[in-house]
Structure 1
Amino acid sequence: MSPNRSDGLLAKVDFPLYTLQTLTNRHVIVAGGGGASNTGVANGFEIFELSHNGKRFVAEEVMRHETGPNVVMTCSVRSIQNRTYLTAGQESHCQLYKVNIRMVDAAEMRRGSFRAENGLVRRRRRTVSENDNISKKNNVSNTEKRMSFEIRPCDSVQTDFSNDPLQRVVRISNNGKLMATGGIDTKVRVWTFPKMELLYVLEKHTKELDDLDFSPCDTTLVSIGKDGLACLWSTAGLRPPLLTLTCQPPNGNKYLFRRCRFGPNEDKEDAHRMFTIANPLSRSGKQKGLLQLWDPKDGSLQKTVLVNESLSALTVRDDGRFVGVGTMFSGSVDIYIAFSLQRVLHVRSAHRMFVTGVQFLPVRGYGPAVASRSEAALLSISVDNCLCVHSLPYRGSVPIWIAIVLIIFVLFCTFSLCSYLGI
């Protein structure tokens, strides 16, 4: 296992963070807020552009969009025919946004007064003379283009109809044709997208929904709830679940699923894996969380890993090679190899409070990837208002000077042994 290593804080915002998504290979959107109460804490989104300066990752704030009294607890992003859509859970409703992307001059971006210094996002107001000098300099030497974003609210639909309605999760299918929502009223609703017209309602769970996810080929939808069930549904239409799974702990204690994610199988074309995290139902004593790998075709459990504490967040990289998790109590994050569930990175106390979301920087997304010295980079957020990054160094690589020293040492030892034996 690689040594404990964290690139640490990328940015700190002025509201608690609950959800995290990537817009492009180098742009990330975080969302959350303080709720409808008059606390003075904002609700909304912030978009950051990530880069690497040769030593560490750096974040620069691109834009901010506030959502008034509506806190954003969950969101999902998808690009369809060169249009990017964002759906956000806001109380009982699902709000649809269009994310307009345009290319602007780097000088124009800088005039927005958002700069990154020492890896932290800072807001600085320049004087008119400073802006004039920068503008003159950039007019001469800078023709670089940068991405700029604009978030525009569109339609909104109610997705939960309980007495105290709350949408807990929303997912858009990979092909951008379906949207699934779940909440307090225990029902999974599947909608057309982006029109958000209700197609059918899936009923199996008896308690509120915790998570949803579409398989990479969009033929299967998995749902998990506080009733302890994980249901796999066909997206072809209204049918009973294809499979109904319950958590299978190795220690005999009762566990409940917390999160679920599909991931492609890099070893087999058109195949995929399913990952879940689960926590013990009993809160007495120090209980261990579970990270599990399933075969979604027959529901068989492939591998199980015990984690030293309860888990709160789960993600799979878009190429299916790595799995990332966040913990409930210590605010730690881990990276695992997907096929073996071998832990390759542990960052203890990455956050001061429980981790609310984790997301890998994509390797197959839109636009150029961030060039760095890491094999994988995991982003994490928490209600401590912080966005952090944790990079996994390339495994098994040895600096050339160490290799040369080892070769010389082996030759010396061989020569000494031969001289001692008189060979």
Structure 2
Amino acid sequence: MAPYKRNIDDVLARINFPLFTVQMLTNRHVLVGGGGGSAKTGVANGFEIFELSHDGNKFHVEEVTRHETGPNVVMNCAVALKNNHTYLVAGQESHCQLYNVNSELVAQENGDIENLGTDHHTNGKLRHRKSAPTSKNNDINKNLRKRLKFILSPSDSVQTDFNEPEPLCRVVRVHPEGNLMATGGTDGTIQMWRFPSLKPLTKLKGHTKEIDDIDFSLFDNYIITVAKDGQAILWDCVRGKEIKKLTWNQPQGSKYLYKRCRFGIIEGEKKCALYMLSNPTGVAKKQKSFLQQWQPEEETIKRVAIFDESISALAVRDDGRFVAVGTMFSGSVSIHTSFNLQIVLKVPGAHAMFVTGLEFLPVLNQENQTVCSVAEAAVLSISVDNQVCIHTLPYRKTIPLWLAIVILMITLFLTFLFCSYIGL
């Protein structure tokens, strides 16, 4: 496990409201949401969008957009790209609100912002402005810093929970292909929607208590749901039918509840692994908590990581290589390799309170350059302590292939000499 000491550089931003949800809006723009609720506390509700950069030594963020949502706290959200347009859906009280996300390219010089025009399809890629023909204007353009500003335009809103007296949209998730949306609330019902039209489709009824989490699989039309009734149900999201309930042999005399669920790609295969957090309840609270890797088709647990406290947040990187977990009491964050669930980075006390959300920075590749190139992995974390933090896993040292071959040949040669010396 990589040694790590928490320092002030981990804190990217402090927001003036508690944070409950975090998403990557583009490859280098972070969106966080939360708030203080409808009570007259003076604490705002809404979103903040930051641009993420790296100076060679540490990460920095700069606020580019703030959008307040009035009396409605943002408890959860999802970002979706459909037909080259970005959408944001957010659970706000009993309703799910759809936003159109438009980007506007601006240039900034000494604190002044120049509008370079609205571009609805940039999706994080800066559109370069042509240089002016005169040398004077060329000098001016050299001092202009180009950046994206985002405009969140409210569109449709649908009620997703009807459980009186306080209906609440607990979870909203959009299918990776952007054609389906699922919502779950305190009434225990999963409502499927056509996306982005928000036309209601099937209702999935299998839980008896409020929904804690939902996730879609990229393959096999799976959707997984977990709730406070202790059940984890695997569904066919196209047919709207239950496939199976996922059960396991819990420690004798204890009761566990699933907290979070996420699918992750299995590298080199068109299959998904399923990751779930499971916490003890009641008199069993002193027992261990688990990060479980399931093979959903076989209804078996392949690997387990054990925690000494309850765990509250879960994220899987888009290439499936790493899994991140946040804890409830110590506010710690850990990164695990997916193939064996071993911890490769642990950040004790990353937050002063429980971790409410985690999000990996996107993977670096030739077509899609991101700011995570300085580390093997980087994960964002948020909490009700109002802080946005980032935790990076440095590139781990490996032996080059040629050196490994040389070492192997030398070892074999020395073994042969030793065997000849002793007459074998």
Range of TM-score over shorter length: 0.7 to 0.9
Equivalent residue, structure 2, for 1:242: 243
Is 1:201 matched up with 2:200?
no
Preserved CA contact (<8 Å) 1:25 1:363: no
Preserved CA contact (<8 Å) 1:174 1:217: no
The one-letter code matched in structure 2 to 1:161 is: F
The one-letter code matched in structure 2 to 1:145 is: K
Whole-Å Cα distance in 1 between the matches of residues 80 and 55 of structure 2?
Answer: 29
Give a deviation string over 1:133-153, Cα, whole Å, max 9, x none.
xx9997241465322211010
Q: How does 1:132-151 map to 2 (within 5 A)?
A: 139-142=140-143, 145-151=146-152
Q: How does 1:270-309 map to 2 (within 5 A)?
A: 270-282=270-282, 286-309=286-309
Equivalent residue, structure 1, for 2:123: none
Is 1:373 matched up with 2:374?
yes
Q: How does 1:13-412 map to 2 (within 5 A)?
A: 13-107=15-109, 110-111=111-112, 139-142=140-143, 145-163=146-164, 164-217=166-219, 219-239=221-241, 241-249=242-250, 253-268=254-269, 270-282=270-282, 286-363=286-363, 368-397=369-398
Give a deviation string over 1:365-410, Cα, whole Å, max 9, x none.
9953005421000100000000000000111258xxxx9xxx9xxx
- Residue 80 of structure 1 deviates from its aligned partner by 1.1
Whole-Å Cα distance in 2 between the matches of residues 260 and 354 of structure 1?
Answer: 18
Equivalent residue, structure 1, for 2:117: none
Preserved CA contact (<8 Å) 2:337 2:343: yes
1:175 to 1:227, Cα distance in 2 relative to 1, 3 A:
same
Whole-Å Cα distance in 1 between the matches of residues 88 and 104 of structure 2?
Answer: 16
SS of the aligned residue for 1:175 comes to coil
SS of the aligned residue for 1:205 comes to coil
Whole-Å Cα distance in 2 between the matches of residues 275 and 31 of structure 1?
Answer: 24
Whole-Å Cα distance in 1 between the matches of residues 150 and 303 of structure 2?
Answer: 41
1:218 to 1:192, Cα distance in 2 relative to 1, 3 A:
farther
SS of the aligned residue for 1:242 comes to strand
1:297 to 1:106, Cα distance in 2 relative to 1, 3 A:
farther
Question: How many correspondences in the alignment?
Answer: 378
- Residue 362 of structure 1 deviates from its aligned partner by 1.0
Preserved CA contact (<8 Å) 2:362 2:372: no
Give the gaps of 5 or more residues in structure 1: 114-134, 408-413, 415-423
- Residue 102 of structure 1 deviates from its aligned partner by 3.0
TM-score (norm 1): 0.84
1:55 to 1:251, Cα distance in 2 relative to 1, 3 A:
farther
Whole-Å Cα distance in 2 between the matches of residues 112 and 143 of structure 1?
Answer: 9
The one-letter code matched in structure 2 to 1:262 is: F
The one-letter code matched in structure 2 to 1:267 is: G
Whole-Å Cα distance in 2 between the matches of residues 187 and 151 of structure 1?
Answer: 29
Equivalent residue, structure 2, for 1:410: none
Preserved CA contact (<8 Å) 1:318 1:364: no
- Residue 340 of structure 1 deviates from its aligned partner by 0.7
Preserved CA contact (<8 Å) 1:333 1:350: yes
The one-letter code matched in structure 2 to 1:300 is: T
Q: Structure 1 stretch 227-236 or stretch 380-389: which is displaced more?
A: 227-236
The one-letter code matched in structure 2 to 1:198 is: P
1:303 to 1:359, Cα distance in 2 relative to 1, 3 A:
same
Preserved CA contact (<8 Å) 1:9 1:386: yes
- Residue 216 of structure 1 deviates from its aligned partner by 1.4
1:250 to 1:339, Cα distance in 2 relative to 1, 3 A:
farther
Higher relative contact order (Cα pairs below 8 Å, separated by 6+ residues): 1
The one-letter code matched in structure 1 to 2:106 is: V
Give the gaps of 5 or more residues in structure 2: 115-135, 408-413, 415-424
Whole-Å Cα distance in 1 between the matches of residues 317 and 171 of structure 2?
Answer: 20
Whole-Å Cα distance in 1 between the matches of residues 173 and 285 of structure 2?
Answer: 35
The one-letter code matched in structure 2 to 1:63 is: T
- Residue 12 of structure 1 deviates from its aligned partner by 0.3
Whole-Å Cα distance in 1 between the matches of residues 109 and 139 of structure 2?
Answer: 6
Whole-Å Cα distance in 1 between the matches of residues 393 and 250 of structure 2?
Answer: 29
The one-letter code matched in structure 2 to 1:384 is: D
Q: Structure 1 stretch 5-14 or stretch 190-199: which is displaced more?
A: 5-14
1:212 to 1:362, Cα distance in 2 relative to 1, 3 A:
same
1:236 to 1:394, Cα distance in 2 relative to 1, 3 A:
same
Taking only aligned residues, the RMSD between alpha carbons, in angstroms, comes to 2.5
The one-letter code matched in structure 1 to 2:303 is: K
Whole-Å Cα distance in 1 between the matches of residues 76 and 5 of structure 2?
Answer: 29
Whole-Å Cα distance in 1 between the matches of residues 272 and 56 of structure 2?
Answer: 35
Whole-Å Cα distance in 2 between the matches of residues 327 and 137 of structure 1?
Answer: 52
SS of the aligned residue for 1:139 comes to helix
- Residue 267 of structure 1 deviates from its aligned partner by 3.3
Whole-Å Cα distance in 1 between the matches of residues 398 and 108 of structure 2?
Answer: 36
Preserved CA contact (<8 Å) 2:364 2:372: no
Preserved CA contact (<8 Å) 1:26 1:368: no
Whole-Å Cα distance in 2 between the matches of residues 107 and 317 of structure 1?
Answer: 36
Preserved CA contact (<8 Å) 1:324 1:358: yes
1:314 to 1:293, Cα distance in 2 relative to 1, 3 A:
same
Preserved CA contact (<8 Å) 1:5 1:390: no
The one-letter code matched in structure 2 to 1:69 is: P
Equivalent residue, structure 2, for 1:411: none
Identical amino acids, percent of aligned pairs: 52
